[in-house]
C-alpha cells in the first residue's frame, strides 16, 4: 500500500479507474462540500457531485473504499486504500457524504462482526473434539460409571468373553492342571450368590500376577501360585480380584480407557483396531484407582470371612509381594499402588477380628505347587 502524504482531512491520494485508465492511476482527490474533485495527472480537474457518487467497500478483503459515479457515459471509480485517510474521513465526514459514510461504517462494523462470529464458530468446530476430550478426561470417572450402569450382566459377560478370546492367544493357558479343581472350589466359595458366572484359568507365566476380566473371567499366573505358601494366600488374592469383577472396577476402567481412546481417535483421526482387541490391549495396562483397590481389599476381606477362609493369608500374601517389590516389583503391585498403606489397613482389620477359628483349606499345597514346576 502506498503511503499518501497527509494533506487536509478531506483530500487523499486514491487510485482512479476510468474508461481510459482501466488499471488505475494515482490521483489526488479532494472532497469539497457537495462534490468530489479529482486532479488527474494531466492537470485536468474533474468534478463529480456527491449526490451522484456512491460509496461502497470493495477490493481484496473489502478493505478499500470505492467512490463510484458515472461520467460521460463511462463508469468512474476512485479507490481509497490508505487506512489513515479512511480514518480521517470517518472522523470528520465531508459535507454531503455523512449519510453514506455512516452506512459504510455500519456495513464495515457488521462485516467485522460476521467475520468474527464465523471465525469463532470455525475455531470452535476445530476445538470441539479437543474440548470434549478434556472434559471427558476431567469427568472420566463419573461418565464411565454412568456408562457402566447401563451395561447388563449378560452384556458384560459377552464383552468379557470377547476380550478374553482376543487375549487368549497371548496367554499360555494351563489346561488340566491338578490345581484347577482347588482353584475352582475356592472361587466358588468366594463368589457364592454372585450374578456372574465365573471362569477360572491358570496360565504359565512367571510374573506374580492375577487379573480379572469383566463378566467373571479370572486368570491366575503360575508365578502367583508359586509365590503363595498356602491356599489361603492365593484365596486372598482371588477374593481381591473377584471384587474387581463384582464392583465392576475393571469394566469401569475399561470403559473409561476405551472411551478416552475412542474420543482421542475421534479427535485426532484414524480409528483403527477392533473393539475387543482394543480392550485387550487396554486390559494390559489397566490401572485401578486407589479407591477401587481399597474397595476391593475391604470387600475381598469380607468375602473371605463369609467364605470361612482365613484372611491372614491375604495379608501375608500382600506383605510378601511388598517385600518382593524391593528388588523388582511384581506386576501385581505395579498396577496396585500404595501397598504399605493397604497392608496396614488390612492388618488393623485382622487385629480387630475376635479370635475366630477358620478351617484351613484342605489342599496339599506344596504338592500342587510342585505340579506347576515342570
Residues with catalytic roles:
241
202 binds another protein (CB under 8 A): no
5 binds another protein (CB under 8 A): no
CA atoms within 13 A on the CB side of 132: 16
For residues 51 to 80, the per-residue mask of contacts with another protein, x marking binding by CB under 8 A and - elsewhere, is -------xxxxx-x-x-x------xxx-x-
Least Cβ distance, residue 24 to another protein (angstroms): 5
Q: Find, among 315, 319, 284, the residue nearest to 297 by Cα.
A: 315
Q: How far is the C-alpha of 198 from the C-alpha of 256, rounded, in Å?
A: 23
Figure out which of the listed residues 6, 87, 95, 119 binds another protein, where binding follows CB under 8 A.
119
Given a contact cutoff of 8 angstroms between Cβ atoms, the answer to whether 337 and 293 are in contact is: yes
Q: Find, among 212, 275, 282, the residue nearest to 241 by Cα.
A: 212
Least Cβ distance, residue 74 to another protein (angstroms): 8
* Residues present in the chain in total: 374
Figure out which of the listed residues 26, 291, 308, 341 binds another protein, where binding follows CB under 8 A.
26
* Residues 6+ away with beta carbon under 8 Å from 337: 290, 293
Residue with smaller CB distance to another protein, 21 or 325: 21
Residue with smaller CB distance to another protein, 119 or 266: 119
Least Cβ distance, residue 128 to another protein (angstroms): 17
Given a contact cutoff of 8 angstroms between Cβ atoms, the answer to whether 291 and 341 are in contact is: no
Given a contact cutoff of 8 angstroms between Cβ atoms, the answer to whether 163 and 274 are in contact is: no
* Residues 6+ away with beta carbon under 8 Å from 8: 30
Least Cβ distance, residue 10 to another protein (angstroms): 21
Show contacts with another protein in window 75-114 (CB under 8 A).
75-77, 79, 81
Least Cβ distance, residue 222 to another protein (angstroms): 50
- Residues near another protein (CB under 8 A): 1-2, 15, 17, 19, 22-24, 26, 58-62, 64, 66, 68, 75-77, 79, 81, 115, 118-119, 122
Amino acid at each position: 500500500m502506498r503511503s499518501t502524504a497527509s494533506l487536509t482531512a478531506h483530500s487523499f491520494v486514491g487510485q482512479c479507474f476510468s474508461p481510459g485508465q482501466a488499471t488505475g492511476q494515482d490521483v489526488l482527490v479532494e472532497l469539497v462540500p457537495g462534490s468530489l474533485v479529482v486532479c488527474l495527472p494531466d492537470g485536468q480537474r474533474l468534478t463529480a457531485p456527491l449526490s451522484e457518487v456512491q460509496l461502497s467497500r470493495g477490493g481484496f478483503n473489502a478493505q478499500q473504499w470505492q467512490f463510484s459515479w458515472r461520467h460521460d457515459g463511462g463508469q468512474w471509480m476512485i479507490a481509497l486504500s490508505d487506512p489513515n485517510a479512511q480514518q480521517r474521513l470517518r472522523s470528520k465526514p465531508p459535507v454531503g457524504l455523512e449519510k453514506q459514510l455512516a452506512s459504510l461504517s455500519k456495513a464495515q462494523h457488521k462485516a467485522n462482526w460476521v467475520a468474527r462470529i464465523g471465525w469463532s464458530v470455525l475455531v470452535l468446530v476445530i476445538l470441539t473434539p479437543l474440548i470434549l476430550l478434556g472434559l471427558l478426561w476431567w469427568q472420566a470417572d463419573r461418565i464411565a460409571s454412568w456408562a457402566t450402569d447401563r451395561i447388563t450382566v449378560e452384556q458384560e459377560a459377552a464383552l468379557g468373553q470377547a476380550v478374553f478370546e482376543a487375549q487368549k492367544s497371548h496367554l499360555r493357558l494351563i489346561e488340566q492342571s491338578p490345581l484347577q479343581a482347588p482353584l475352582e472350589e475356592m472361587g466358588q466359595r468366594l463368589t457364592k450368590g454372585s450374578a456372574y458366572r465365573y471362569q477360572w484359568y491358570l496360565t504359565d507365566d512367571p510374573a506374580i500376577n492375577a487379573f480379572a476380566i469383566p463378566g467373571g473371567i479370572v486368570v491366575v499366573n503360575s508365578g502367583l501360585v508359586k509365590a503363595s505358601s498356602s491356599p489361603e494366600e492365593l484365596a486372598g488374592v482371588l477374593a481381591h480380584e473377584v471384587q474387581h469383577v463384582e464392583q465392576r472396577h475393571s469394566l469401569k476402567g475399561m470403559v473409561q480407557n476405551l472411551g478416552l481412546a475412542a474420543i482421542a481417535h475421534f479427535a485426532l483421526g484414524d480409528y483403527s483396531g477392533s473393539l475387543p482387541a482394543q480392550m485387550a490391549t487396554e486390559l494390559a495396562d489397566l490401572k485401578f484407582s486407589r479407591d477401587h483397590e481399597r474397595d476391593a481389599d475391604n470387600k475381598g476381606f469380607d468375602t473371605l470371612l463369609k467364605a470361612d477362609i482365613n484372611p491372614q493369608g491375604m495379608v501375608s500374601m500382600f506383605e510378601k509381594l511388598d517385600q518382593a517389590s524391593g528388588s523388582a516389583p511384581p506386576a501385581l503391585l505395579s498396577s496396585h499402588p500404595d501397598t504399605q498403606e493397604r497392608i496396614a489397613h488390612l492388618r488393623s482389620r485382622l487385629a480387630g477380628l475376635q479370635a475366630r477359628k477358620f478351617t484351613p483349606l484342605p489342599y496339599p499345597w506344596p504338592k500342587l505347587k510342585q505340579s506347576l514346576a515342570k
